[in-house]
Amino acid sequence: MSFRVLDLVKPFEPLVPEVIAPERKVSFNQRVMWTGVTLLIFLVMSEIPLYGINSSDGSDPLIWLRMMLASNRGTLMELGVTPIVTASMVFQLLQGTKMIHVDMNNKQDREQFQNAQKLLAIMLACGQATVYVLTGMYGPPKMLGLGIILLLILQLVFAGIIVILLDELLQKGYGLGSGISLFTATNVCEKIMWKAFAPTTSSAGKGAEFDGAVIALFHLLGSRSDKRRAILEAFYRQNLPNMLQVLATVFMFLTVVYLQGFRVEIPIKSTRQRGPYALYPIRLFYTSNMPIMLQSALSSNIFIASQILFMRWPNNLFVKLLGQWGQKGGSSQLYAVSGLAYYIQPPLSVTEAMLDPIKTLIYIVYVLGTCAVFSTTWIEISGTAPRNIAKQFKDQGLVIAGHRDTSAYRELKKIIPTAAAFGGAAIGALSVASDLLGCLESGTSILMSVTTIYGYYELAVKEGGLSKSIVSGYSDGI
């Protein structure tokens, strides 16, 4: 008997909570219901403020990660899906680099693997909650008092565990798909809807104005006597969301959905059974939203590191080269003003992009390049490289119609890497475009939410939940 790293989790196995898997396939309507209820709980939790926090003003050091991790500042969802994502990333890395050996065909191995993941996620939630509270994110720890500190940590950890369980519930077959992407997409959609329809008002000199772009349009049209000026103001106001941004967002949504449909279809046939050809689609967005997620994770980590270093050593030459930070437009939020971080930070508007064309150029090249590289690397890691697909074909006894058995790999190798690299660059370009157009949310978040919703829609079609497919000629994918 050998002793493996995964065996270390064995003593904790009875303690790890786990949702019972459904005994038979859950019907489509029930799955929609479970998804809805879970989402509702998540949304309510991301609106309720934590008990006992003193202040959550001041610059938010993690603002770049909030969007990706579905977290909301000062609420129960402060941690969002961070623990789950981090734990699974770590384990995927360990498994991908063969540091731990897991036989995915062995049930016991899979169980241990998932238990280890969950344990790490819970531990990460505890650790993160402690760090957040003790570093004074909600006010100095001395002012909070021991009782409140413990209560805060307890709230955060419990919320973290609930999110882990909710995600597991969705994934085990009660829900439609992954909980993580659903939570992230919902968070983005919520922010977009809020910016378009916010009923709150803010007054800056000229009297009270509605924050929501659409509401402001009607209010300005109704209350101002000069209608032309009113429309101009509703479309071009700089301080608050305007109608132009709403239109840009709608336009981006439509463009992304249109581009999602682009695919190369390879006719395949089975060698085991005679029959008609089937089609194997390879999409333009072969790696879906993965490249943009990795790219934005990279950027946000650089931003966070640079910000922390700049706070600590503002006069160091190296730190200055990495990025200098300053406030902008009266708010307490910090933005990079020079250094490396400035060049990879998206321009905030078209005017800003015009004012510093070199920065804009570097930014565009950086985003397109990293997205393409990440996309081509990701197909190797995720097991969707031509080699893997060719092996899958061979195992299932499929050949490309009109070719010999052996040439499947050669054909796939012509298409897949090109699709991955070009698709990565395309999705990067879309992100840059939506940033420059000034969409309501950042380009990355819009792309992520659209691709997630589209994925869910495809899933619903595949599961037979919708009476008929809207996309004509939809054929079953991978």
Residues 304-343 touching another protein, rule: CB under 8 A, are none
97 CA to centre of own chain: 24
174 counts as binding another protein under rule CB under 8 A: yes
Task: Figure out which of the listed residues 14, 147, 205, 330 binds another protein, where binding follows CB under 8 A.
Answer: 14
What is the C-alpha to C-alpha distance for residues 14 and 156, in angstroms, rounded to an integer? 23
CB of 319 or CB of 371, closer to another protein: 371
How many chain residues bind another protein (CB under 8 A)?
80
Site for another protein in 261-290 (CB under 8 A): 287-290
**Per CB under 8 A, which region of 196-204, 225-233, 303-311, 378-386 contacts another protein?**
378-386
- Minimal distance in Å, beta carbon 40 to another protein? 10
CB of 37 or CB of 240, closer to another protein: 37
As a whole number of Å, the end-to-end CA separation of the chain is 39
- Minimal distance in Å, beta carbon 475 to another protein? 14
Contact 214, 246 (CB under 8 A): yes
Binding-site string for another protein from residue 418 to residue 457, where x marks contact by CB under 8 A and - marks none: ------------------------------x--xxxxxx-
CB of 339 or CB of 455, closer to another protein: 455
- Minimal distance in Å, beta carbon 238 to another protein? 34
146 counts as binding another protein under rule CB under 8 A: no
CB within 8 A of 172, min separation 6: which ones? 19, 21, 22
From the CA atom positions of the chain, what is the Rg in Å? 25
Site for another protein in 205-264 (CB under 8 A): none
Long-range contacts of residues 47-51, Cβ cutoff 8 Å, at least 24 apart: 47/72, 47/75, 48/75, 48/76, 49/74, 49/75, 49/76, 50/74, 50/75, 50/76, 50/78, 50/138, 50/152, 50/155, 50/156, 51/151, 51/152, 51/155
Task: Figure out which of the listed residues 133, 293, 319, 398 binds another protein, where binding follows CB under 8 A.
Answer: 293
CB of 47 or CB of 405, closer to another protein: 47
20 counts as binding another protein under rule CB under 8 A: yes
Looking at 317-403, list the stretches that DSSP marks H as alpha helix, in order from N- to C-terminal side: 317-322, 340-344, 350-355, 357-382, 386-396
- Minimal distance in Å, beta carbon 398 to another protein? 15
What is the C-alpha to C-alpha distance for residues 301 and 64, in angstroms, rounded to an integer? 8
Site for another protein in 83-122 (CB under 8 A): 84-85, 88-89, 91-92, 105-108, 110-112, 114-115, 117-118
17 counts as binding another protein under rule CB under 8 A: yes
Task: Figure out which of the listed residues 5, 8, 18, 250 binds another protein, where binding follows CB under 8 A.
Answer: 18
- Angle among Cα 276, 277, 279 to the nearest 5 degrees reads 145
What is the C-alpha to C-alpha distance for residues 191 and 186, in angstroms, rounded to an integer? 9
What letter does residue 347 receive in the DSSP assignment?
Answer: P
- Minimal distance in Å, beta carbon 115 to another protein? 6
186 counts as binding another protein under rule CB under 8 A: no
What is the C-alpha to C-alpha distance for residues 426 and 418, in angstroms, rounded to an integer? 12
Site for another protein in 26-85 (CB under 8 A): 34, 37-38, 41, 44-45, 48-51, 76, 84-85
416 counts as binding another protein under rule CB under 8 A: no
What is the C-alpha to C-alpha distance for residues 161 and 167, in angstroms, rounded to an integer? 10
